[in-house]
Amino acid sequence: MTKTALIAIGGNSLIRAGERGTLDEQFENAYATSKSIALMIKNGWDVVITHGNGPQVGAALLRSERAATEVYTHTLDMCVATTQSEIGYILQTALFRSFKEQGIIRDVMIIPTMVRVDRNDPAFSNPTKPIGPFYSQQVAELKKKSLGWDIVEDAARGYRRVVPSPEPVEVLELSIIKKMVDSGIITIALGGGGIPILKENGDIHGSEAVIDKDRSSALLANGLDVDLFIISTDTDKVYLNFKKNNQKGISSASADEMDNYFKDGHFPPGSMGPKVESIVKYLRNGGKKAIITSYDYLMQALEGKAGTTIVP
Q: Which domains does the chain have, with CATH numbers?
A: 1-33+42-116+171-232 (3.40.1160.10), 236-312 (no CATH)
Q: Which of 134-138, 174-178, 193-197, 304-308 has the lowest mean pLDDT?
A: 134-138
Q: Are 161 and 151 in contact (CB under 8 A)?
A: yes
Residue 306 has pLDDT above 90, yes or no: yes
CB count, 10 Å around CB of 124?
18
β-bridge mates for residue 199, sequence order: 204
Strand pairing category for 228-232 and 3-9 = parallel
Q: Which residues have a catalytic role annotated?
A: 11-12, 129, 213, 275
Q: Are 255 and 312 in contact (CB under 8 A)?
A: yes
Average pLDDT value over all residues in the chain:
93
Residue 5 has pLDDT above 70, yes or no: yes
Amino acid at 168: P
Residue 101, SS3 per DSSP: helix
| pLDDT tens-place string over residues 13-61 | 788 877 888 999 999 999 999 999 999 999 999 999 999 988 888 888 8
Binning the chain into helix, strand and coil, the percentages to the nearest 5 are 40, 25, 35
In this prediction, residue 210 has a pLDDT band, given cuts at 50, 70 and 90, of very high
Q: Distances in Å between the alpha carbon of 86 and those of 89, 111, 142, 180, 191?
A: 5, 12, 31, 20, 10
| pLDDT tens-place string over residues 109-127 | 999 999 999 999 999 999 9
Nearest one of 238, 164, 226 to 189, comparing CA atoms: 226
The confidence score (pLDDT) of residue 146 equals 82
In this prediction, residue 147 has a pLDDT band, given cuts at 50, 70 and 90, of confident
The confidence score (pLDDT) of residue 259 equals 96
Render the burial of 127-153: b for 16+ CB within 10 Å, e for the rest: bebbbbeebeeeebeebeeeeebebee
Average pLDDT over residues 189-193: 96
Name the strands in the sheet holding 186-189, side by side, starting at the edge strand that comes first in the sequence. Answer: 108-111, 186-189, 45-51, 3-9, 228-232, 290-293, 308-311, 252-254
The confidence score (pLDDT) of residue 25 equals 93
Q: Are 312 and 283 in contact (CB under 8 A)?
A: yes
Q: Are 174 and 223 in contact (CB under 8 A)?
A: yes
Which of the two residues, 146 and 71, has the higher pLDDT score?
Answer: 71
The confidence score (pLDDT) of residue 155 equals 64
Q: Round to whole Å and give the CA distance between 290 and 26.
A: 26
pTM: 0.93
Q: Are 260 and 199 in contact (CB under 8 A)?
A: no
